[in-house]
Amino acid sequence: MASVTLENVSRMYGAVTAVDNVNLKIKSGEFVTLLGPSGCGKTTTLRMVAGLEKNTGGRIAIGDNVVSDSEKGYFVPSERRRLGMVFQSYAIWPHMTVFDNVAYPLRIRRRPDKEINDRVMNALRLVEMEQYAERPSPALSGGQQQRVAIARALVFEPEVLLLDEPLSNLDARLRTQMGDDFRALQQRLKITALYVTHDQAEAMALSDRVVVMHGGKILQVGAPEEIYRRPENRQVAAFFGTPNLLNATVKDCRPNGGQYFKLSVEGQGWSGDCHAATEMPKGADVTVMVRPENLHVRDAGQVNGDLSWSGEVSQAIFRGSHRSIMVKTPAQTLHVEASSLSNVDIGRPVTVAAPVEAAWAVRN
C-alpha cells in the first residue's frame, strides 16, 4: 500500500476556486476522510487524486511517484494510477452476475482465465460474498451490491482505495453496519483509504484522521476525537452536532501541566474554568464550547462542576435514546442531552454544570 501526498493542490473552474491550496499527506495504510458541507471541494479533491480531474495548481504523488504536477504539465491518467474506486452509485452492471461484475476490470485488460478466477474469488471472499458469485446482480440487496462494488475495487490489489459517499444509498442501519464492516476490512488489509462524506458520524466512526473542509480549504486535520473535543475554531466546533457555544472573556490563563492551558472565563451571568490549546491574554474574547451530552442538570443551587449556569427548564423532549432538555439562562438557552430516564418539569429552576475537561475555548 502507498501513501498519498497533496502539495499546494488547487483546482479552478473559470473564476471559481473549487479547491484552494490543499496540503495533505495520507500515510500508507491510513484511513483519511474528507468531510464538509456540500460544495466545499471534497469530491473535486478526490477526483484529482483519482486522475479524473486535473489540478490547476500543485502536485500529487502516490507513494514515491508524482502522478500530477501542474507546473510541469505532467499528468498520469487514471488507469495507470493503480487505484480502486467506489462511488455513491455502485455502478454494478445489472446484466452481469456478481462474478462477471468483479471480473470486468480484469477482462478488459485480457488477464488469463485462471488469474481472473483466483483474483475474483479472493476479492469476493474478502467481502464475504463468494457464495453469491453466480447470482445476477439485480437479485442482491443494496448492502450486497455495495460489497460487490468494493470487491471490484479491490480485485486489482490497488495501492490506494478512493471512496466517494459509498454508503449514502443505504438505509441508516445498513449504513452503520457496512461502515463498521468496511473499517474492519480496511484495517485487516491495511488499505490506504481516502473517503469522502458529509456525514460527521460516519467520518468519526471510520477514520484514523478527518479533514474538515470549507470553501475549498482545509479548516482542520486530526483524529476524530481530537476534532470533536478540541476544534481549532468556532466553525469546526459548530460543524459537529449542536454544541453550546458561549461568548466569554478571559480572566486568567495558566499552563495546565499537560498539553493545554487552563482558563478562568466570565460570561453573561456565569463564570468558571475551561481548557484551551493556546495561551490567551487576559481580556481576550473567546467562544466556550460545551457539548450537550457533557452538561448535567441539577437542582437549583446544587453546584457540582467547574462551570455552572443558573436557569429554568424551558423544554424537555423525549428522543428515545436520550432526553433533550432546554434550560433558559441569562446568557442563552443551553441544550442538555440527558438520560431518557431523567425527567424535569417545565419551568423548574435548575443549575446546569459541566466538568472542566468538557469545556473548550477558542479565540473569536
Ligand X SMILES: Nc1ncnc2c1ncn2[C@@H]1O[C@H](COP(=O)(O)OP(=O)(O)OP(=O)(O)O)[C@@H](O)[C@H]1O
Residues near ligand X (CB under 6 A):
13, 16, 18, 36, 38-44, 198
C-alpha 138/C-alpha 300 separation (Å) is: 60
C-alpha 263/C-alpha 255 separation (Å) is: 9
Comparing CB distances to ligand X, the nearer of 43 and 137 is 43
Q: Which residues of 88-124 are buried (b: 16+ CB within 10 A; e: fewer)?
A: bebebeeebbbbbbbbbbbeeeebeeeebeebbbebb
Q: Single out the residue of 19, 25, 40, 32 nearest to residue 235, CA to CA.
A: 40
CB 86 within 8 A of CB 167: no
Comparing CB distances to ligand X, the nearer of 43 and 308 is 43
C-alpha cell at 205: 466512526
Comparing CB distances to ligand X, the nearer of 48 and 154 is 48
We find the least distance from the C-beta atom of residue 291 to ligand X, in angstroms, to be: 25
Comparing CB distances to ligand X, the nearer of 38 and 321 is 38
Comparing CB distances to ligand X, the nearer of 98 and 213 is 213
Q: H helices within 190-315, ranges in order?
A: 200-206, 224-229, 234-239
We find the least distance from the C-beta atom of residue 22 to ligand X, in angstroms, to be: 11
Comparing CB distances to ligand X, the nearer of 137 and 220 is 220
We find the least distance from the C-beta atom of residue 202 to ligand X, in angstroms, to be: 13
We find the least distance from the C-beta atom of residue 36 to ligand X, in angstroms, to be: 6
Reduced to 3 states, what is the DSSP secondary structure of residue 328? strand
C-alpha 333/C-alpha 149 separation (Å) is: 46
We find the least distance from the C-beta atom of residue 63 to ligand X, in angstroms, to be: 24
We find the least distance from the C-beta atom of residue 13 to ligand X, in angstroms, to be: 3
